[in-house]
């Protein structure tokens, strides 16, 4: 898309010089600068804290299962391989 911008003369001269050194176009230099600025803005945006689900159930372990024993817990799950 073509557009018209009013850019500071000194800034434009620096951008043209950079484009010439890189053997690139002025358009590409401006696009890269805009992309960097937009990425930095997105990275700085505050992120919402994720709400983690919390189980508020009642009950507990099945009677007779020793919670301190991995072997007992696996046996209770029927996964005692």
- Look at residue 81 in the predicted model and tell me its pLDDT: 56
Please state the separation of Cα 30 from the chain's center in Å.
25
- Look at residue 79 in the predicted model and tell me its pLDDT: 67
Handedness of CA 7, 11, 14, 15 (dihedral sign): negative
- Look at residue 45 in the predicted model and tell me its pLDDT: 67
**Model confidence pLDDT, tens digit, residues 52-79:** 888 787 777 778 888 899 988 888 888 6
**Model confidence pLDDT, tens digit, residues 21-37:** 999 999 999 999 999 99
- Look at residue 29 in the predicted model and tell me its pLDDT: 96
- pTM comes to 0.51
């Amino acid at each position: 898309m073509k557009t018209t911008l009013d850019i500071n003369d000194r800034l434009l001269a620096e951008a043209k010089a950079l484009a010439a050194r890189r053997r690139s176009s002025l358009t590409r230099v401006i696009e890269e600068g805009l992309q960097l600025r937009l990425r930095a803005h997105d990275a700085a945006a505050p992120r919402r804290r994720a709400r983690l689900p919390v189980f508020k159930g009642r009950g507990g372990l099945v009677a007779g299962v020793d919670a301190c024993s991995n072997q007992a817990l696996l046996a209770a799950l029927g996964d005692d391989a």
